[in-house]
Amino acid sequence: MQALLAALLILGPWVAPVTTAAESAATLVTRGSSRGIPACASCHGATGSGNAELGYPRLAGLPAPYIEAQLEALAAGRRQNALMNAVAVKLSAKQRRELAQYFAALPFEPVSPVPARAQSGAGAELALHGRWSQNVPACTRCHGEAGVGVGERFPPLAGQPSRYIESQLLAWQQGTRHGEPLGLMQGIASHLSASDVHAVAAYFGVPPSASGDAPGGDAPPRAGGAAAGDGEPPPGERALPDGEFGKAVLLGRRIFEDPATYAKDYVGNALACSNCHLDAGRRADSAPLWAAFVAYPAYRAKTHRVESLEERMQGCFKYSMNGKSPPLGDPVLVSLSTYASWLARGERVDPNLPGRGYPRLPKPALAADFQRGARVYGEKCALCHGAGGEGQADHGGHAAFPALWGARSFNWGAGMGSITLAAGFIKANMPYSEGGSLSDQEAWDVATFVDSHERPQDPRFTGSVAETRAKYHDGPDWMYGVEVGGHVLGSDSVPPGPTPTGPGPTH
Amino acid sequence: MQALLAALLILGPWVAPVTTAAESAATLVTRGSSRGIPACASCHGATGSGNAELGYPRLAGLPAPYIEAQLEALAAGRRQNALMNAVAVKLSAKQRRELAQYFAALPFEPVSPVPARAQSGAGAELALHGRWSQNVPACTRCHGEAGVGVGERFPPLAGQPSRYIESQLLAWQQGTRHGEPLGLMQGIASHLSASDVHAVAAYFGVPPSASGDAPGGDAPPRAGGAAAGDGEPPPGERALPDGEFGKAVLLGRRIFEDPATYAKDYVGNALACSNCHLDAGRRADSAPLWAAFVAYPAYRAKTHRVESLEERMQGCFKYSMNGKSPPLGDPVLVSLSTYASWLARGERVDPNLPGRGYPRLPKPALAADFQRGARVYGEKCALCHGAGGEGQADHGGHAAFPALWGARSFNWGAGMGSITLAAGFIKANMPYSEGGSLSDQEAWDVATFVDSHERPQDPRFTGSVAETRAKYHDGPDWMYGVEVGGHVLGSDSVPPGPTPTGPGPTH
């Protein structure tokens, strides 16, 4: 099949035979079929780059399983489109798969990275930061940096015609497109105003004036008239202050969202601070930075001492990032605490501000269970975090969804290894845009499942798992040192040492 | 005279001759005089320790100039007391001096140090912390640690009968005692309620039940019924929190008020943080800690970078304390910032909270002048800081009033070396309890005078005064590198090196 496709690509459509008995993908693309199927190229272009003027989507380089799933949804009516419903229903399952593979294999020029794109305006705001006050995560959270796409389920947004993006958001709002995994986009689209939709489509999309064959992706966002959303910008999204202080705030935010780039000497996995502190550290009940800033210095039972915020952050690097602590006073820590202070502007100094940390769930009716947790994980978590907990990188190679266990995840010393803490985090925040949707029982079960997998060794490892458990993980909250499926957790953890670099699953 | 006194003390009163022509001090004390002067000992005791039951003051060990000044005031009617007015007026100036020297030379058992005394209650509150909301400094600020007295002008409180302390505070309130330097006690007493007076007298004084000859000083404070003052305790004087956090707050406060004891490795003079940050860091317009806590991290022109609060405090040790910076994360810095966070509880996070730093005075009508400043200094400042700017230690040897220049003062790198900053501080806060009483012109003049004296070298000294001035002190705000009275300031500064220790003037 690979060889055939390659041959087709080399030979081009002109030499492919036209037979109804064997309507090859290439034929369907360039000539259509006598059964009333128009040539795909007539709308999507010969190179599969779509048509910006008419809002027909780019297909080139999209994940094959995604294209195939769309053709199935169009055939089944879960996506409504008069033309495409009629076409899709005439295709066999085999033809849908071959067409998907055909378009997936077409080359598509990668879009420019984020820094070259406009960073302000209503569209950039939603695209890069979301609007968590309405449970709307940043588009890039799931669709990857610059919207390049993640895995098979989160298609690229960059390079799609803005008119196409807009029409799909409207389709989710109106229910004429539905049935995707977890229904995330229907929920998210329901929170967007008409001007939001326009702005975010303009941010990612190729404008109508562009050539239908242009790869696009560099289009600056158009203001789109009204500002997005509900008036007051979320805390922290006020205009960045000027001067050196503003630079420190910005660096802090960049580190927070992309430590692998901006604090690379100190991280040992592909996680970002914002994986556990959603909305770039602003979301209540997601251990927000503003609540931490006004709560430190504070006593911590973990270290048996009063710690400053910078010392607390050192622990994040050592455990959650499975890296090493930046020295106190290092620009990484100073920038992060400067960013925290800026998010905290206007808050009261109070160690117990509502929204601090993660909520504490009441104990569930049934004892938390690994097997039930595995089912919840498969249904609700694997879409993003992968069936093996390995996380996903985006199509540009940048970390997208964090690994939840394995060598690329947080180590056994991290707070998220506590089942109580993980359950509270999951209940309040997972899945993205659907926080609060799991039952307490589901949250406890899936937290138990996640925290019952092997991960990197606790940096405080004494040389004995039993002793390390007794010292640091004694109690029902920790699976470290507990036997699960014949394996004692912690016993083949990767020991602390030279830190691996670069994103991507390695479990 | 010394020999005569010594002989009298050894021989005792029984062998001293009684002659009206030569009424020696010893005779007056033990037998009085035929001119209607009763024996001093009949009220003040043979050992000069006073009478706690009747409220007659201790005289033993008081500074001779202080006793002499009181006899003069009693003779002149500035202190009103029916018995003592009649006695004092009959004494010659020479007798007053000799009596003063007699009592000053009597031994008096030192009172117990502060830690052995009760630290809570309304009396302790006023004694140790004052009530700066009404411009009332802690009694110990001027009367020394545990009230042992400072110099010749600030008599001991400890060991005085509580009834005597109470009667004197009432006398200042009623105007029957007046005429002391700067009239400080009249102003302070005017802010005290009857229960305040009772409580503070009980805190320092020997209770009436004690023997008239007992040295006293260990009496626990009596609650005295009502709580002191205006209801709400000042910020930071809420009950200290429990546990490790509370310990850190307390240590931070102790460091702040007595770094020579609690942070001795890092200080190079006898100054305390609370010398420039009045009311233990709580006073508005006196660079209060609560305003600093919510303003950092912040960009500083001095260092050209964004600094955390701990980094900012490192600068205090290096420059204002003429010592060395504790490392980041050192318990000294963590405790100080914990104390600051505790004082800031309930405040908004805001880099420009009203009361932050020192107020900026408008430029005065006349150019600031050294000679006019010297006059202001002599009239308003020398009482506490000494005629030579050398400061004063209390009678127990602990630092009381800071040196304003010379080898024991802040160095040329400290912020207080800026005339603008010093003028703002002085105007708002000096003299103790009389903040705001100087005219703007006086504040500028005296700041110029103080900052035109030699002090320890700037730790950033490049080897050349001119170059160091150009780099760090360029502008009209700094006298470093300027010639004053034929001497270029900075040119014979003590270079940075091993830090001197222990309080006391060395200029």
Q: B382-412: per-residue pLDDT in tens? A: 999 999 999 999 888 888 899 999 999 999 9
Lowest mean pLDDT among A276-280, A386-390, B145-149, B446-450: B145-149
- C-beta of residue B62 within 8 angstroms of C-beta of residue B156: yes
Residue A223 has pLDDT above 50, yes or no: no
Cross-chain residue pair B248–A347, CB shorter than 8 Å? no
Write out pLDDT tens, residues A204-220.
Answer: 988 886 543 433 333 33
Contacts A348 to B, Cβ<8 Å? 346-349
The interface pTM score, or ipTM, of the predicted complex is: 0.73
The partner residue sitting opposite B245, judged by closest CB among A298, A338, A350, is A298
Average pLDDT over residues A472-484: 96
φ, ψ of residue A400 to 5 degrees: the values are -120, -70
CA distance B254 to B261: 9
Percent of chain A past pLDDT 70, that is, above it, reads 85
Nearest chain A CA: its distance from B426 CA (Å): 30
Find the CB nearest B345 among A297, A305, A349: A349
Please state, in angstroms and as integers, the Cα–Cα distance from residue B39 to each residue in B8, B32, B63, B72, following that order.
16, 4, 21, 18
pLDDT in tens, B332-355: 999 999 999 999 999 999 999 999
Give the range among A31-45, A77-91, B52-66 with minimum mean pLDDT. Answer: A31-45
Contacts with A292 from chain B: Cβ below 8 Å: none
pLDDT surpasses 70 at A432? yes
Residue to mutate among A306, A336, A347, with most B CBs inside 10 A, is: A306
Is A341 within 8 Å of B304 when comparing Cβ atoms? no
| B243 Ramachandran zone, left/alpha/beta (phi>0; psi -120 to 50) | left
Confidence of residue B36 (pLDDT cuts 50, 70, 90): confident
Tens-place pLDDT, residues A364-402 = 999 999 999 999 999 999 999 999 999 999 888 888 899
Contact indicator for B331, B277 with CB cutoff of 8 Å = no
- Looking at residue A115, what is its pLDDT? 37
Tokens encoding B162 = 């509580």
Q: In angstroms, what separates the C-alpha of B267 from chain A's closest C-alpha?
A: 21
Residue B292 has pLDDT above 50, yes or no: yes
Could you give the C-alpha distances from B104 to B15, B101, B156, B180, in angstroms and in order? 21, 5, 12, 20
Given an 8 Å threshold on Cβ–Cβ distance, is B248 in contact with A350?
A: no
List CB contacts (< 8 A) between B251 and chain A: none
Question: Of A244, A310, A346, which has the smallest distance from its Cβ to B308's Cβ?
Answer: A310
Pull the structure tokens for residue A454: 């092997």
Q: What is the mean pLDDT of residues A300-320?
A: 96
**Chain A nearest CA to B269, separation (Å):** 26
pLDDT recorded at residue A385? 94
Per the model's pLDDT, the better-predicted residue between B172 and A11 turns out to be B172
Q: Are A221 and A121 in contact (CB under 8 A)?
A: yes
pLDDT above 80 for B101: yes
Question: What would the pLDDT profile of B418-437 be if each residue is shown by its tens digit?
Answer: 999 999 999 999 998 888 99
How far does A222 lie from chain B, in Å, by closest CA? 34
Lowest-confidence region among A247-256, A417-426, B219-228 = B219-228
Nearest CA in chain B to A305: B244
Closest of A79, A83, A102, A107 to residue A8, by C-alpha: A102
The full DSSP string for A181-220 is GGGHHHHHHTT--HHHHHHHHHHHSBPTTS-TT-----PP
Q: What is the pLDDT of residue A398?
A: 84
pLDDT of residue B39: 86
Task: Spell out the domains of chain B, with CATH numbers in brackets.
Answer: 2-39+62-105 (1.10.760.10), 114-204 (1.10.760.10), 243-343 (1.10.760.10), 370-488 (1.10.760.10)
Q: What is the pTM of this model?
A: 0.77
What is the predicted pLDDT for the residue at A182? 86
Average pLDDT estimate for A330-337: 97
Q: What value does the mean pLDDT take over residues A88-109?
A: 91
pLDDT at residue B495, rounded to an integer: 67
Distance (Å, whole) CA B219 – CA A414: 53
B311: chain A residues, CB-CB within 8 Å: 329, 334
Confidence of residue A251 (pLDDT cuts 50, 70, 90): very high
CA distance A258 to B271: 45
pLDDT at B264: 95
Question: Which residues from B are below 8 Å from A when comparing CB atoms?
Answer: 243-245, 248, 290, 293-294, 296-299, 304-308, 310-311, 327-329, 334-335, 337-338, 341, 344-350
Structure tokens at A50: 């779509």
In this prediction, residue B229 has a pLDDT band, given cuts at 50, 70 and 90, of very low
Question: Which of chain A's residues have a Cβ under 8 Å away from the Cβ of B313?
Answer: none
Name every chain B residue with its beta carbon within 8 A of the beta carbon of A236. none
Q: Which amino acid would we find at residue B203? A: Y
Cβ-proximal residues to B69 (8 Å cutoff; 6+ apart), any chain:
none
Cβ separation of B334 and A297 shorter than 8 Å? yes
User: Is B310 within 8 Å of A304 when comparing Cβ atoms?
Assistant: no
Could you say which of B305, B310, B349 has the minimum Cβ distance to residue A244? B305
Share of chain B above pLDDT 90, in %: 61
Q: Are A208 and A162 in contact (CB under 8 A)?
A: yes
Residues on chain A touching B334 (C-beta within 8 angstroms): 297, 306-308, 311
Query: Which pair of tokens denotes residue A266?
Result: 């100190």
Amino acid A119: pLDDT: 61
The verdict on a CB contact (< 8 Å) between B329 and A346 is no
Q: What is the mean pLDDT of residues B498-506?
A: 44
Give the residue-averaged pLDDT of B480-494: 92
Give the highest mean pLDDT range of A239-253, B99-113, B302-316: B302-316
The pLDDT, as a whole number, for residue B224 is 28
Residues of chain B contacting A298 with CB distance shorter than 8 Å = 245
- What pLDDT does B227 receive? 31
Residue A171 scores a pLDDT above 70: yes
CB-nearest to A334 from B297, B338, B349 is B297
Is the CB of B244 less than 8 angstroms away from the CB of A298? Answer: no
CA–chain centroid gap for A325, Å, is: 26
pLDDT band, residue A45 (cuts 50/70/90): confident
Q: What is the pLDDT of residues B5-27, one digit of tens each?
A: 444 444 444 433 334 434 788 88
pLDDT tier at B461, thresholds 50, 70, 90:
very high
- 3-class state of residue B310 by DSSP: helix
Of B244, B299, B349, the CB nearest to A299: B244
